[in-house]
């Protein structure tokens, strides 16, 4: 009787509030949904779990999601399952029954965040079960599986009764440094790249900063506007992130000048370093300066810095299969897209029909 009352109260809280309580095998699993991230920032184990103290990649932290909400017009919904010290978190956005990963083009990867407690992984299924009362569909892209994230989420949602589809969505180019110094790494680069660096390095002057600098950042924005890159999605987000990383000592901001014109920057790059990994976030050069190969020369200087000075174990070039990344990187990791559907919800049937037709077309093409 008591258990039945607890479930009734949990359902009422789920419908009318933002918190549910489920009594399972003598323990209490508490489900929370936070749309105001200021609530999370008040302290406690959750804010600690989502801080730089526990997460060594920017995409796993509360500050990253808060920035997406403030600067990229993405309304956050932080779904949290608790059981004692165990925590499982999914950062979502969206509404009207369809939630997506709280991530965009700046995010290298998306994954659930779990506390070290061994029970945390099991909480994902409880979270998936509770989400069935809030959503008929979830779309999560950019999931890695080298750490088991994609498989873990897929299994949790299947266990909770969701229909799940999984497919590759992107690629992630990386460099495992494997204890090499920069000169050893350079010898393994393609001959054409090494020749370019040998010919052009003396024609380009490079500066690397480990702090945020207003003048250099303005130069970066000016260079980006003249580069081959598409229009920047959210300059305010990127600047706020660079300022915060600079204050934390994780920023590596590179700028290049023509040797005969040291007052006119022609290439700029933004990297960050933490947890033994260097993340390459942004790079751009002026098209007019292309004959000097300033982007390649600047990249080489930053690789030298993170390998020989920061002594990183891995360099992560983010997502995208751009051909130039293969010159610098040595391995590729897949990223996955998971689509989760409530199988009996009428709103999903049209999507099911499209998936079925797409598979039929793929089968016919292979035949």
Mean pLDDT of 213-232: 87
Mean pLDDT of 194-207: 97
- Asked whether the predicted pLDDT for residue 272 surpasses 60, the reply is yes
- Asked whether the predicted pLDDT for residue 12 surpasses 50, the reply is no
Q: How many beta carbons lie within 10 A of that of residue 45, not counting itself?
A: 14
- CATH architecture, domain defined by 178-312: 3-Layer(aba) Sandwich (3.40)
- Asked whether the predicted pLDDT for residue 347 surpasses 50, the reply is yes
CA–CA gap between residue 37 and residue 47 (Å, rounded): 10
Q: Which of 336, 304, 329 is nearest to 175 (CA)?
A: 329
Mean pLDDT of 294-301: 98
Percentage of the chain surpassing pLDDT 70? 89
Question: Hey, do 2-171+334-366 and 178-312 end up sharing a CATH topology, with the first three levels equal?
Answer: yes
Q: How confident is the model at residue 346 (pLDDT cuts 50, 70, 90)?
A: confident
pLDDT of residue 231: 74
Q: Where are the domains of the chain?
A: 2-171+334-366, 178-312
Q: How confident is the model at residue 4 (pLDDT cuts 50, 70, 90)?
A: very low
pLDDT, one tens digit per residue, over 103-146 is 999 999 999 999 999 999 999 999 999 999 999 999 999 999 99
Mean pLDDT of 312-327: 95
pLDDT of residue 226: 84
pLDDT of residue 24: 40
DSSP string, 185-227: HHHTS-HHHHHHHHHHGGGEEEEEESS--HHHHHHHHHHHHHS
Q: How confident is the model at residue 9 (pLDDT cuts 50, 70, 90)?
A: very low
Residue 120: strand pairing partners: none
- Asked whether the predicted pLDDT for residue 360 surpasses 90, the reply is no
Residue 26, sorted as left (phi over 0), alpha (psi -120 to 50) or beta, turns out to be: left
Question: How confident is the prediction for the chain on average, in pLDDT?
Answer: 89
* Contacts with 350 (C-beta within 8 Å, 6 or more apart), sequence order: none
Percentage of the chain surpassing pLDDT 90? 78
The one-character DSSP state at 179 is T
Indicate yes or no: pTM above 0.85: yes
- Asked whether the predicted pLDDT for residue 247 surpasses 70, the reply is yes
- Asked whether the predicted pLDDT for residue 41 surpasses 70, the reply is yes
pLDDT of residue 308: 98
Q: Which of 184, 91, 96 is nearest to 141 (CA)?
A: 91
Correct CATH for 2-171+334-366 of 1.10.20, 3.40.50, 3.40.630, 2.30.30: 3.40.630
* CA dihedral sign, ordered 63, 64, 66, 67: positive
């Amino acid at each position: 009787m008591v258990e039945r009352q607890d479930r009734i109260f949990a359902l009422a809280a789920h419908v009318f509030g933002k918190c549910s309580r489920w009594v399972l095998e003598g323990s209490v699993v508490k489900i929370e949904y936070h749309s105001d991230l200021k609530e999370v920032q008040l302290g406690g184990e959750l804010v600690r779990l989502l801080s730089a103290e526990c997460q060594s990649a920017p995409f796993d932290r509360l500050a990253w999601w808060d920035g997406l909400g403030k600067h990229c017009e993405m309304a956050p919904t932080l779904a949290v399952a608790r059981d004692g010290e165990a925590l499982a978190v999914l950062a979502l956005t969206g509404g009207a029954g369809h939630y997506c990963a709280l991530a965009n083009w700046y995010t290298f990867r998306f994954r659930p965040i779990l506390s070290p407690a061994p029970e945390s992984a099991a909480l994902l299924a409880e979270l998936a079960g509770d989400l069935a009362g809030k959503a008929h569909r979830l779309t999560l892209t950019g999931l890695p599986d080298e750490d088991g994230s994609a498989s873990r989420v897929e299994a949790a949602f299947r266990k909770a009764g969701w229909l799940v589809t999984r497919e590759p969505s992107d690629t992630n180019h990386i460099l495992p440094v494997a204890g090499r110094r920069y000169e050893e790494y350079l010898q393994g680069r393609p001959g054409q790249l090494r020749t370019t660096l040998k010919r052009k390095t003396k024609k380009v002057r490079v500066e690397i900063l480990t702090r945020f600098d207003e003048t250099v950042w303005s130069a970066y924005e000016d260079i980006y506007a003249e580069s081959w890159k598409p229009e920047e999605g959210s300059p305010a987000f990127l600047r706020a992130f660079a300022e915060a990383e600079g204050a934390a000592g994780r920023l590596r901001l590179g700028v290049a000048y023509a040797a005969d014109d040291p007052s006119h920057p022609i290439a700029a790059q933004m990297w960050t370093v933490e947890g033994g990994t260097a993340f390459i976030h942004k790079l751009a050069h002026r098209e007019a300066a292309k004959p000097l190969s300033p982007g390649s020369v600047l990249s080489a200087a930053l690789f030298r810095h993170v390998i020989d000075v920061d002594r990183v174990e891995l360099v992560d070039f983010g997502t995208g299969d751009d051909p130039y990344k293969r010159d610098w990187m040595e391995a590729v990791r897949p990223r996955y897209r998971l689509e989760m559907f409530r199988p009996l919800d009428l709103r999903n049937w049209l999507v099911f029909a499209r998936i079925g037709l797409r598979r039929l077309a793929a089968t016919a093409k292979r035949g």
